[in-house]
Amino acid sequence: MPQIRKILIANRGEIALRIIRACRDMGIRSVAVYSTIDKNSAHVHLADESVCIGPASARESYLNESAILTAALLTNADAIHPGYGFLSERAGFVDKVEQHGIIWIGPTSKLIAKMGDKVEAKKTAIKCGLPVVPGSDGSVDNLSDALEWANKIGYPVMLKAAAGGGGKGMRPVFAESEMAEAFQMTRAEAKNGFGDDTLYMEKLLTHPRHIEFQVLADQHGNVVIFGERDCSLQRKNQKVMEECPAAALTQKQRDDMIETCKKAVKKMKYTNAGTLEFMFEDGKFYFLEMNTRLQVEHPATEMVYGVDLVREQIRVASGEELGYTQSNVIPNGHAIEFRINAEDPETFVPNPGTITQYSVPGGLGIRVDSACYPGYKIPPTYDSLIAKLIVWAPNRPACIMRAQRALDEFVIDGVKTTIPLQQRLLGNKDVRNLNIDNTWLEKFLAASKND
């Protein structure tokens, strides 16, 4: 089996730093890539080597396939770890990486392409025995098809871009009279946003929870499911807070879905880390999508299961067997991850700038994944996520108490952040009592504006 000695990290910020640390723990050298605006980023200075790959624009740097491949070849990197976002789910790039004899730390390009196309992903899910939301058999190519499928499924329905993601390229339709305009607008959005105007349709679930299962599979057919996360607190389909495990599930529901997911992953011959995402309503699961990469919220799972998922990704990519079975995967306690963004906590307008003071919380069960430091200048060019606070405790009530203390200790001055919002959420009785779903946060924020 190939031994990985040097990994190029095709990403930036906290996730690049997190991967560098895993490499150091394993005795593997790391190569950071960076844009000109990121030259003072922590990941650049903590990697063993670093290469500038272009100007600030992501299109000319972190999405520049040629520049990243050239950097990997110049530094003699054995492998590339994509992190999440950017090129992590671009199947064509994976093919190029492998053609140059470099190991891709992730699933195959074929599986990335299949699960990245929402229509193909749903077909695959059905073949692999995953429960799906009632919807169109394939793409919905014209208004006549859309009306016909909506009548079969029953309103309300959701129009979705086949190449969509991140909560974009989707629109609810509550009545036949709304379909013509909705179809035209969603198709135009899909074309502009993804370069592909293919749409499909699903039944709209009105009060679902977002539950996802962390999977890991090696190249020898071994599969384990590291439980589930509840990601229901979302704003505009973007996750704000994630918990592991999902406290709303019964043990039977959890066990049944772990077994279902395990069989599906084996059947699709998936390898490396991934996440099966579901909508959960009235005790039933419905497949949403599969993310063929590491998730932003993976640390919550790591805290509960005592596993380094990046280390496991590297081991799998090296051809090693997992070395453990599902019976060895035992959860311990409860974890909550908070996404800290450089945004106004009320308007959510990004607030890039210079961090004048930065002090992270500490103590038992506290982890902060961030590339920030005092004096760090947050660029206006990229995503506004600047830190992830992950809190662990023996149970959910204790975790909430510890998280409140940690958020109170977290000091970031010089820019506005979403820490005040996270504090408000933890103090809300609905959040504490699990009376939430995917629509709850939007309603909470709307009500707050009217107070």
Q: Long-range CB contacts (< 8 A, 24+ apart) of 119-128?
A: 119/162, 119/198, 119/200, 121/289, 121/290, 122/200, 122/287, 124/268, 125/264, 125/287, 125/290, 127/267, 128/263, 128/264, 128/265, 128/267, 128/268
Q: What angle do helix axes 309-317 and 298-305 make, rounded to 10 degrees?
A: 100
Question: What contacts 446, CB < 8 A, 6 or more positions away?
Answer: none
Cα 235 to Cα 182, 277, 287, 346, 347, distances in angstroms: 21, 17, 20, 12, 12
Residue entry with tokens 């009279």: 177
CA separation for the pair 20, 300 (Å, rounded): 19
Q: DSSP string covering 207-248, please?
A: S-EEEEEEEEE-TTS-EEEEEEEEEEEEETTEEEEEEES-TT
Q: What is the Cα–Cα distance from 421 to 346, expressed in whole angstroms?
A: 8
CA-CA-CA-CA dihedral for 438, 425, 339, 232, to nearest 10: -20
Distance CA 211, CA 136 (A): 23
Among 96, 4, 9, 15, CA closest to 294: 15
Contact 313, 105 (CB under 8 A): yes
Closest CA to 388 of 30, 13, 12: 13
287 neighbors 278 (Cβ within 8 angstroms): yes
Whole-angstrom distance, CA of residue 171 vs CA of residue 175: 12
Q: Which of 171, 229, 254, 293 is catalytic?
A: 293
Say whether 293 is catalytic. Answer: yes
Q: For the chain, give the number of residues.
A: 451
Burial 118-132 (b: 16+ CB within 10 A, else e): bbebbebbeebebeb
- Rounded to 10 deg, the angle between the 91-99 and 65-74 helix axes is 30
- Cα 224 from Cα 325, distance rounded (Å): 6
Q: Which residues are designated catalytic?
A: 293
